[in-house]
Each structure stands twice: as C-alpha cells, then as structure tokens.
C-alpha cells in the first residue's frame, strides 16, 4: 500500500511558480531547457546574445500563454549578465535556478592541419575562452551572489563529454574550456555547500543544435562513437534538466551528469 504522506513523483519534479534563467536559451539545448521549465509551470527568462533568437523564440513560447521573458545579453560582459539576472530577480522576487548554458565551438579537430597545435589560431582560442569560460564564471558569480543570501537555488552548468576525455572531433579550445567548466562546477559546489545552493554540471554528447550547423559526420561515425548509434534530439535533455531544476535533485551537488547515448562508456572515440 502506498503511503499517502509520501511525495508523489509529480510533486518531486514540480517547478510551478518557480523562476529560472537560461543563458543561451535562444537555441538548441538552452531552448529545450526553457521549454520544459515553462511546460511545468515555471517562469523563465531567456538570456541570449542573439536578439533575433530571443525575439523569435520568446514570441513563440509566449503565444502559448507561458510566462517567458527575453533579455539580449552577451555573457562575455559580466556587468550585463549581472544586470540581467538582478532584473529577473527583482521582477520575480526570487531566483530558483540558473542554467549556465551559453557556449560556442570554433574550428575543427587537429586532424585538419589548420587546427593542429602548431597552427592553432590564438584569436579563436580567446573567443571560445571568453564565452565558454569567462562567460560561465560571470554567470555563476552573479547567480551565486543572488542565491546565497536567498538561501536556496539550483545552478546547472553545461560542459560536454569533450571536457571529460579527449575528443578528436572538436578543437583544443573546446575540450580545454569544457574541462574547465567541469572544474568550476565542482569547486563552486563546495563553496556553496551548506548555503542551500547546489551546483551540478551536465556533460552532453552529440545533440543536433545550431552549434554544429553543417557538422554531421554521418550515421557510420555515430554508430562507432555513440552506442545508441545516433545524434541526440534536444527534447532528450529535458528529463535531466527538470531533475536538476527540481526538488528531485535535493541531495545532488558537485555532480557531473553525462547525457550522451552511452558515448563515455566507450574506451575510445574514433
Ligand atoms: N550540441 C551539442 O552537441 C553539444 C554537446 C556538448 C555540449 N554542448 C553545449 O551545450 C551548450 C548549448 O549549445 P547548443 O548545442 O544548444 O548550441 P546552439 O548554438 O544551438 O545554442 C547556443 C546559444 O548560445 C547563444 N550564445 C552564444 N554565444 C553567446 C554569448 N556570448 N552570450 C549569450 N549567448 C550566447 C547562441 O546565440 C545560441 O542561441 C553549449 O555550452 C555547448 O557547448 C552542446
């Protein structure tokens, strides 16, 4: 017999009435996160440096009557990130979670001679580091500044399987910055432990989004590198996002959660 005083699964995952912000929420994985949170009754602020994406996607989501707002913000500008999160906090009177998701990938694998270590273009390194590392730090810093005094909050960073092992399909800047995101997440989890704020990191494998526009090495490669044999659909991130945003993850902090069709279970990439 089930105990009627025990929370049902629905209650554990309930985020209705809560307020979230998602960086890079105008496309791909960030947009999927915004969608599931809105579907489950939360208020969401989409932060993205693309005005066109912010306008288009928030208009689409708002058309369904859902409480979404958009802010055009470049995460490489710490003052702008801070102002946007503070505005969200003021408007909603709370900030229950921040998905620190904005990220870019420039260039290609070292198997392309133009992207070997000897030739590696420093300007592209700096641009990727500015978004994937400085932008993550700036967002994490502002989110923690609002959440620690509040005594609660969920911070979720987006790293990559490329931050957890070698990955000959992407550039040095991408693997290095994503490994750094993994470290930042762990360290911040310790810093914030006991404050009521948790920090977890997701490590996606290949998903079809705009980051890899035009990059699809084909089914044969996915079959070799991803045990499930295919690239992921952004909807397939939604369950993990809701888990990490809700009370269902109350005892989870400092964790790294691959979502990769089994790719990390392989001992080789190619
Ligand atoms: N798609 C994948 O296969 C994959 C795999 C592992 C990790 N990731 C990570 O997931 C995250 C989301 O990427 P995605 O695949 O959804 O890509 P995407 O390009 O579809 O979405 C990224 C969003 O971030 C925004 N953005 C980029 N630079 C920004 C900046 N400086 N300030 C604010 N917004 C900015 C873009 O406008 C875009 O809307 C990234 O951190 C990426 O590294 C993606």
pLDDT in tens, 215-257: 677 778 887 899 999 999 999 999 999 999 999 999 999 999 9
Q: pLDDT digit string (tens) for 167-221?
A: 988 999 999 999 999 999 999 999 999 999 999 999 999 999 999 766 677 778 8
Give residue 24 CA to ligand 1 midpoint distance, Å: 6
The architecture that CATH gives domain 16-262 is 3-Layer(aba) Sandwich (3.40)
Please provide the average confidence, as pLDDT, over all residues in the chain.
Answer: 94
Which pLDDT does position 224 carry in this prediction?
A: 87
pTM of the model: 0.96
> What confidence score (pLDDT) does residue 164 get?
97
pLDDT value, residue 51:
98
pLDDT at 1 over 70: no
For 131-177, the DSSP string reads IIIIHHHHHHHHHHHHHHHHT-EEEEEE--GGGTS--TTS-HHHHHH
Query: Whole-angstrom Cα distance, residue 222 to residue 236?
Result: 17
Question: 174 an active-site residue?
Answer: yes
Q: What is the mean pLDDT of residues 13-31?
A: 98
CA distance 27 to 101: 10
CB 200 within 8 A of CB 255: yes
**CB of 49 shorter than 6 A to ligand 1:** yes
What does the alpha-carbon distance between residue 74 and residue 131 come to, in Å, rounded to a whole number?
8
Going by pLDDT thresholds of 50, 70 and 90, the confidence category of residue 8 is confident
The closest residue, in CA terms, to atom 30 on ligand 1 is 74
The pairing of strands 19-23 and 97-100 is parallel
Of these residues, 110, 172, 174, 257, which one is catalytic? 174
Residue 266, pLDDT above cutoff 80: yes
Query: How close is the Cα of 22 to the center of ligand 1, in Å?
Result: 11
**Rounded Cα–Cα distance for residues 104 and 49 (Å):** 12
- 40-51 residue pLDDT tens: 999 999 999 999
Determine whether the shortest distance from the Cβ of 225 to ligand 1 is under 6 A.
Answer: no
Q: Which of 20-29, 42-51, 129-138, 258-267 has the lowest mean pLDDT?
A: 258-267
pLDDT, tens only, 52-95: 999 999 999 998 899 999 999 999 999 999 999 999 999 999 99
| Ligand 1 atom 36: residue of nearest CA | 24
- pLDDT greater at residue 221 or residue 36: 36
CA distances from 250 to 83, 181, 244, 258 (A): 28, 22, 8, 19
């Amino acid at each position: 017999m089930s105990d009627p005083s025990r929370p049902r699964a629905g209650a554990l995952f309930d985020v209705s009435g809560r307020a979230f912000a998602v960086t890079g929420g105008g496309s791909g994985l960030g947009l999927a996160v915004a969608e599931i949170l809105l579907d489950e009754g939360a208020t969401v602020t989409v932060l993205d440096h693309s005005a066109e994406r912010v306008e288009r996607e928030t208009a689409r989501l708002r058309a369904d009557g859902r409480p979404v707002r958009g802010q055009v913000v470049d995460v490489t500008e710490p003052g702008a990130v801070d102002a946007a999160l503070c505005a969200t906090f003021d408007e909603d009177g709370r900030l229950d979670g921040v998905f620190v998701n904005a990220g870019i990938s420039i260039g290609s694998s070292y198997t392309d001679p133009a992207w070997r270590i000897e030739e590696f273009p420093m300007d592209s390194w700096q641009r990727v580091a500015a978004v994937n590392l400085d932008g993550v730090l700036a967002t994490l810093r502002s989110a923690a500044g609002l959440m620690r005094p509040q005594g609660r909050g969920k911070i979720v960073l987006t790293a990559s399987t490329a931050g957890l092992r070698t990955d000959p399909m992407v550039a040095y800047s991408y693997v290095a910055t994503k490994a750094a995101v993994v470290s930042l997440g762990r360290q911040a989890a310790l810093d914030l432990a006991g404050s009521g704020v948790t920090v977890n990191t997701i490590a996606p494998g290949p998903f079809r989004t705009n980051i890899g526009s035009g990059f699809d090495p084909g089914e044969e490669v996915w079959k070799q590198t991803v045990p499930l044999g295919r690239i992921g659909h952004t909807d397939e991130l939604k369950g993990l996002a809701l888990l990490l945003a809700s009370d269902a993850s109350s005892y989870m902090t400092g964790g790294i959660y691959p979502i990769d069709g089994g790719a990390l279970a392989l001992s080789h990439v190619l």
